[in-house]
Structure 1
Amino acid sequence: MKQIFTHTLGLLLAVTLVATEANAQQFTKRKQYNSVGVTLNAMNYFGDIVPKPSFASFRVAASRPNIGVNVTRRFAPRLSARASFAYGRITGDDYKAADQNDPDAKYRYHRNMSFRNDILELSAVGIFDLIENRNNYLKRPDFVPYVFAGIAVFHHAPKGLVGTGANAGSDTQGLTQGSYIDLQPLQTEGVSYSKTQVSIPFGGGVRYKLNKSFDIGLELGWRKTFTDYLDDVSKNYIAETKLTTPAARYFGHYNVRNDDGPFPSFNAEGSQRGKGNEKDWYIVTGLTLNYILAPRVKSPKFR
């Protein structure tokens, strides 16, 4: 997957640079324009708390809404730059995702972890249209597929759910069932990670011209992150003695499921808690409505 990502991003950047050089001299400032937009999306993630331990595994039912605003500047017949700010939530739940009859999911079934994570993202991407427009915004094509890539900074804060009923775990440590607790300060794996991270957004979409002022688009975008703690799960269990608060002990040791037999020893120090060899991703899919800000055309001056 890393090779596919690297090659795709490299090709996109190379094509963008070549197109920029070729088109810069042919697209006058009078044809450049700005637009503002709003997005309504579905948000999901790839990580440790998914049905299968693979990149392509996620629960559709775990999707949550994502909303955002953006500003786009068209510079050339195929090229635009977009700055966006968005808010969304990702979730995961072993109780609903892990199958106790699947050998690969056994430890995740007993792990019994659930989380939600609210993400604030500020991004800047370059957009490359697969159909060019050498005219002004009024004569833009009706239908345009495009690809994009860029960089983003996001703030996240994973929170764990103190389970209820059959999902309560073996010992709630006196915590209020049904409450969400901030996981990052607990260091459930003995690791201190930052809530502010960098990601690489990339993907593609299609844009449709509604009228002279509005475009609507459908977009699918991945976010390659450099953290394995969007879900607060990464590597191994640590010794219970290193978990100094009731909440840390619950999420780092006691939040386990033993309804299929005797309490297992899988949560002993050094036992597997997460995959540990892959970073987490999140994905955003949805609709964008853009309003084009008609450029001001200066009339020629006569003397």
Structure 2
Amino acid sequence: MKQFFTHILALLLVISLVATEASAQQFSKRKQYNSVGVSLNAMNYFGDVVPKASIPSLRFAATRPNIGFNFTHRFAPRISVRAALAYGRITGDDEKAADKNDADARFRYHRNMNFRNDIFEASAVGVFDLIANRNNYIKRPDFVPYVFAGIGVFHHNPKGLVRGGTIPASLSSGDYVDLQPLRTEGVDYSLWNFSLPFGGGVRYKINKSFDIGLEIGWRKTFSDYLDDVSGTYVEDSKLGGDAAKYFGRGITRTDDGTFNNFNVPGEMRGKGNEKDWYIVTGVNVNYILAPRVKSPKFR
């Protein structure tokens, strides 16, 4: 799976570079244009708190909304550059995602972790159209499939829901608590991280000024803590306070639905060998900013 996505990214980069070199010379400044847009999306996550311990596994009921704004500059028949800002939420819950009757998922059902995470993202990507537009924006093709790849930076903040077991006096049932300051695995991880966004979509021309499109994009991140779960349970000495113990040691769910506040230090808490991903799927609407055409000056 890792090699597949790496090859896809490399292919997109090579195609973009070749197409840019071949076409930039024949696309005049008068044909270049800008657009602004908004996207309404669905957001999902791949990580440790999912039905199966694999990247393709996700729980569709955990889908949450995402909204984005973008600015795009077209500078070649097939090539555009897009800068975007987006906000969305990802969630995961062992209680709802893991089946205790599934041998592979049984551990996650007993682990009983949950989280939600609000993600603010800024990204810049190159967009490669599979159908070229060698004319101005008015004569652009009606229907265009495309692919994209680039780089992003995001801020996140995983939170855990207080529920079940012996709840410390400092916590209240039903509250969401910031998990990163608790060092639930004895690890200091950053709330800022980089991502590699890539994907594809289709764009349809509504009229001379508006396009509408469908797009799906994956974000490979360099963090395994979007869900605050990665490695192993740690000793109490590495956890600060009752709140850290509550989330860090876990509220283990037994088969009969009761809870035990105990997990052995050193035992597996997360898979630990895979970085987390998130995926954004949705609809975007773009408004083309008609370029100014300079009139020739006569002397």
TM-score, with structure 2 as normaliser: 0.97
Q: Distance in 1 between matches of 2:6 and 2:242?
A: 43
C-alpha displacement at 1:267, in angstroms?
Answer: 1.8
| Consecutive unaligned residues in structure 2, runs of 5 or more | none
Of 268, 275, 287, the residue aligned with 2:271 is 275
- Checking the alignment, whether the CA contact within 8 Å between 1:172 and 1:254 is kept in structure 2 is no
Secondary structure of residue in 1 paired with 2:116: strand
Q: Percent identity?
A: 72
CA-to-aligned-CA distance 1:239-258 (integer Å, 9 cap, x gap): 13322211101101142212
Would the alpha carbon gap of residues 289 and 179 (structure 1) be closer, same or farther in structure 2, given more than 3 Å must change? same
| Consecutive unaligned residues in structure 1, runs of 5 or more | none
C-alpha displacement at 1:121, in angstroms?
Answer: 0.2
Q: Which runs of 4+ in 1 moved over 6 A?
A: 261-266
Q: How does 1:104-143 map to 2 (within 5 A)?
A: 104-143=104-143
Q: What is the one-letter code of the residue matched to 2:212?
A: I
2:195 paired residue number = 199
Q: CA RMSD in A?
A: 1.4
Secondary structure of residue in 1 paired with 2:253: coil
Q: Distance in 2 between matches of 1:106 and 1:193?
A: 28
CA-to-aligned-CA distance 1:174-209 (integer Å, 9 cap, x gap): 320000000000010011000000000000000000
C-alpha displacement at 1:173, in angstroms?
Answer: 2.1
Q: Distance in 2 between matches of 1:53 and 1:284?
A: 20
- Checking the alignment, whether the CA contact within 8 Å between 2:110 and 2:252 is kept in structure 1 is yes
2:166 paired residue number = 171
Q: Distance in 2 between matches of 1:103 and 1:76?
A: 53
Q: How does 1:60-209 map to 2 (within 5 A)?
A: 60-163=60-163, 168=164, 170-174=165-169, 175-209=171-205
C-alpha displacement at 1:103, in angstroms?
Answer: 1.3
CA-to-aligned-CA distance 1:55-95 (integer Å, 9 cap, x gap): 11101110100001100000100000000000000000001
- Checking the alignment, whether the CA contact within 8 Å between 2:33 and 2:74 is kept in structure 1 is yes
1:238 paired residue number = 234
Q: What is the one-letter code of the residue matched to 2:106?
A: K
Of 280, 290, 296, the residue aligned with 2:292 is 296
Secondary structure of residue in 1 paired with 2:105: helix
Q: Distance in 1 between matches of 2:257 and 2:198?
A: 45
CA-to-aligned-CA distance 1:250-301 (integer Å, 9 cap, x gap): 1011422124389779820111111111000000000100000000001111
- Checking the alignment, whether the CA contact within 8 Å between 2:251 and 2:262 is kept in structure 1 is no
CA-to-aligned-CA distance 1:113-166 (integer Å, 9 cap, x gap): 111000000000000000000000000000000000000000000000002xxx
Q: What is the one-letter code of the residue matched to 1:272?
A: M
Would the alpha carbon gap of residues 211 and 178 (structure 1) be closer, same or farther in structure 2, given more than 3 Å must change? same
Secondary structure of residue in 2 paired with 1:101: coil
Q: What is the one-letter code of the residue matched to 1:202?
A: F
- Checking the alignment, whether the CA contact within 8 Å between 2:119 and 2:154 is kept in structure 1 is yes
1:219 aligns with 2:215: yes
Q: What is the one-letter code of the residue matched to 2:168?
A: Q
TM-score, with structure 1 as normaliser: 0.96
1:53 aligns with 2:48: no
Would the alpha carbon gap of residues 34 and 263 (structure 1) be closer, same or farther in structure 2, given more than 3 Å must change? closer
**Residue correspondences, number:** 298
